[in-house]
């Protein structure tokens, strides 16, 4: 799964990188500890135009009567995303890219303590996670744009840390995932190459969703 991530690249740089028009309500950056239900940056493509938008991380099916009506859907499994009633329409028609500088996963020591790891691209400043999105409307008529990160089986390099990882879309395939380049996005839902990411232990302070600061992603030897 992917339950926390970081994004440190300025919005202006992502606008240029993705060729996307920015929304006016983008979340504040940098953010070293992005948590479920936070607003996240996402690249959408509508009518051939890309937008850098703000979405709530936590996908809301249309039948939810409130944001807390059911399970918090922050991830969608690649193996079933096209079949699950909550996700299948979005998987076909509302795919997005969710930029990240890296993400966190946890192992446990012999005493059961949670040991956080920061996983980040070996080269470059950014990964683009596959996502799906959907507008949810409350009974009062308020609209909330929401998303989930698509995950798949971990590759051999990251398997010892966690059995799942985000689907990561390479730059040449961005258009295919966004629906700009025809059909075939399903073939992108596979583990990343073993050499794409590096991982190191980080301070257990990140176990708290209130922790902040660049030191959260620094190597930790304790």
Residues assigned a catalytic role: 2, 105
Compute the distance between CA of residue 137 and CA of residue 145 in angstroms, rounded to an integer.
Answer: 9
- Residue corresponding to tokens 């596959």: 130
Q: How far apart are CA 160 and CA 23, in angstroms?
A: 39
Q: How many helices (H) and strands (E) does the chain have?
A: 3, 13
C-alpha distances (whole Å) from 70 to each of 57, 133, 190 are 15, 17, 28
Number of CB atoms found within 10 A of residue 165's CB: 25
Helix H or strand E segment including 16: helix 11-18
Tokens representing residue 50 in the block: 């890309």
């Amino acid at each position: 799964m992917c339950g926390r991530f970081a994004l440190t690249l300025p919005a202006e740089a992502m606008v240029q990188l993705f060729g996307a028009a920015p929304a006016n309500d983008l979340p504040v950056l940098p953010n070293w500890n992005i948590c479920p239900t936070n607003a996240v940056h996402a690249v959408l493509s509508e009518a051939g135009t890309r937008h850098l938008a703000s979405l709530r991380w936590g996908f809301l099916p249309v039948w939810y009567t409130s944001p807390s009506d059911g399970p918090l859907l922050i991830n969608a499994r690649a193996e079933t995303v096209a079949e699950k009633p909550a996700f299948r329409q979005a998987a076909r028609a509302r795919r997005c890219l969710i930029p990240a500088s890296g993400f966190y996963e946890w192992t446990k020591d012999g005493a059961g303590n949670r040991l956080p790891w920061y996983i980040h691209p070996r080269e470059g400043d950014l990964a683009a996670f596959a996502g799906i999105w959907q507008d949810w409307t409350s009974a009062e008529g308020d609209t909330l744009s929401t998303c989930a990160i698509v995950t798949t089986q971990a590759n051999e390099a990251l398997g010892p840390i966690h059995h799942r990882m985000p689907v990561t879309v390479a730059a040449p395939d961005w258009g295919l995932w966004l629906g700009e380049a025809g059909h075939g996005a399903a073939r992108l839902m596979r583990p990343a190459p073993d050499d794409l990411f590096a991982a190191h232990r980080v301070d257990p302070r990140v176990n708290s969703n209130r922790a902040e600061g660049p030191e959260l992603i620094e190597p930790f030897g304790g």
